[in-house]
Amino acid sequence: MALEEFENEPLSEREKGMIRMRSITNYGMGVFMIVAGLFFMFPTDYTRRYINQYDPFLIKMFAVICWLYGAFRIYRGYKKNYFRN
């Protein structure tokens, strides 16, 4: 069986369920990472005392990394390219 034939093969119900679950997980983790980035970029009064003990530049850089990773997880959940390489 050639590789092209394998890629055109329909997915089983189990694989469809796995794709759906991984997609939901990626969406959830993506939203969580974006919210975590917002938390670090714009801290509330209660959390400011914990965040201010670290370097502000590194905190902002970490927030941007959280946003980028969250966007990547949402994109990966949207593409659903798990079993086909």
Q: Give the single-character DSSP code of 53.
A: T
Element (H, E) at 16: helix 13-41
pLDDT recorded at residue 1: 46
Number of domains in the chain: 1
Tell me the C-alpha to C-alpha distance, in Å, between residue 78 and each of 7, 10, 15, 29: 19, 19, 16, 13
Q: How confident is the model at residue 41 (pLDDT cuts 50, 70, 90)?
A: very high
Per-residue pLDDT, 26: 94
What tens digit of pLDDT does each residue of 7-32 get? 667 778 888 888 889 999 999 999 99
The answer to whether residue 83 is domain-embedded is: yes
What pLDDT score was predicted for residue 34?
97
Which residue has tokens 């974006």? 34
Q: Is residue 11 part of a domain?
A: no
7 is a domain residue: no
Q: How many CB atoms lie within 10 A of CB 71?
A: 14
* 69 occurs within a structural domain: yes
Nearby residues of 33 by Cβ (< 8 Å), 6 or more positions away? 66, 67, 69, 70, 73
- 84 lies in some domain: yes
> Each residue of 45-77: pLDDT tens digit?
888 888 889 999 999 999 999 999 999 999 999
In a domain, 55, yes or no: yes
Prediction pTM value: 0.77
pLDDT at residue number 79: 87
**Which residue segment(s) compose the domain that 61 sits in?**
33-85
